[in-house]
């Protein structure tokens, strides 16, 4: 790791039943531990942005989530609305069905549309690796590269599987040098984070950020 673990973590709460109080707690934890961002559903972006104003924590949201089956026009509208409400990072889900059809021109087109709509804010492309073959993962990463996305991301956390070191390695090998990989889905422990970072991940999406940080701080105490 080339930075403290907290600066890898997008502290995440995307459950359908998350309340405003849950978002306040998430943001309070993020400020306490100085996480890289909070990742929340679009309806919570405005609240999170107000809570995190003048802090070092960014607000990230999800677009076309969790299935990715929205139209391009809908994803564009969602993105513009999220940016207007204060989102600084956009995690968009690709149209997985189009990827399974090997329609990579469509994938590139929708990513490019979201990148343009994000108006300079960072875009991460969720490819939902659990549904793709290794060759499909490669081709989607190449499409994301052509569309000038900033990151590719493994998973929504709502599919049949989450982040693996194998997938991170494939993704890292098939993006440009100025792009990065976000690992997400099923990441619960500090050990999980270390393995994924060693495989090439530059960002970790996790709802267990506080537990991971406690393990990290305890490890630091033991190594003194």
Query: In the chain, what are the domain boundaries?
Result: 5-222
For all residues of the chain together, what is the average pLDDT?
97
Assess whether 91 carries a catalytic annotation: yes
Displacement of CA 191 from its chain's centroid (Å):
19
Exposure string for 96-132, b = 16+ CB within 10 A, e = fewer: bebbeeeebebbbbbbbbbbebbeebbbbbbbbbbbb
Identify the active-site residue in 75, 98, 124, 153.
153
pLDDT in the model for residue 219: 87
Average pLDDT over residues 190-203: 98
pLDDT in the model for residue 13: 98
pLDDT in the model for residue 221: 73
Contact between 193 and 173 under an 8 Å Cβ cutoff? The reply is: no
Does the pLDDT at position 224 exceed 80? no
Identify the active-site residue in 75, 98, 124, 182.
182
**Does the 5-222 domain belong in CATH 3.40.50.300?**
no
Average pLDDT over residues 169-195: 98
Does the pLDDT at position 40 exceed 80? yes
Displacement of CA 118 from its chain's centroid (Å):
15
Residue-wise pLDDT tens digits, 111-160: 999 999 999 999 999 999 999 999 999 999 999 999 999 999 999 999 99
Assess whether 105 carries a catalytic annotation: no
Does the pLDDT at position 223 exceed 90? no
Identify the active-site residue in 10, 75, 91, 150.
91
Does the pLDDT at position 1 exceed 90? no
């Amino acid at each position: 790791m080339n930075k403290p673990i907290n600066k890898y973590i997008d502290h995440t709460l995307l459950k359908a039943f998350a309340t405003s109080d849950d978002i306040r707690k998430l943001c309070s934890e993020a400020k306490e531990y100085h996480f890289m961002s909070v990742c929340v559903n679009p309806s919570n972006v405005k609240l999170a942005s107000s809570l995190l104003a003048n802090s070092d924590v960014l607000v990230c949201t999800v677009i076309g989530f969790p299935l990715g089956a929205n139209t391009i026009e809908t994803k564009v509208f969602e993105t513009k609305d999220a940016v207007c409400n204060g989102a600084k990072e956009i995690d968009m889900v690709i149209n997985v069905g189009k990827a399974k059809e090997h329609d990579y021109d469509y994938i590139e087109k929708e990513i490019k549309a979201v990148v343009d709509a994000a108006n300079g804010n960072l875009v991460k492309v969720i490819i939902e690796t659990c549904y793709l073959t290794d060759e499909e993962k490669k081709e989607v990463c190449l499409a994301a590269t052509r569309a000038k996305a900033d990151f590719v991301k493994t998973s929504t956390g709502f599919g049949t599987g989450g982040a693996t070191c194998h997938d991170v390695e494939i993704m890292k090998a098939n993006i440009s040098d100025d792009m990065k990989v976000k690992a997400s889905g099923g990441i619960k422990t500090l050990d999980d984070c270390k393995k994924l970072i060693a495989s090439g991940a530059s960002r970790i999406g996790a709802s267990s950020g506080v537990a991971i940080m406690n393990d990290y701080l305890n490890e630091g105490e033991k190594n003194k």
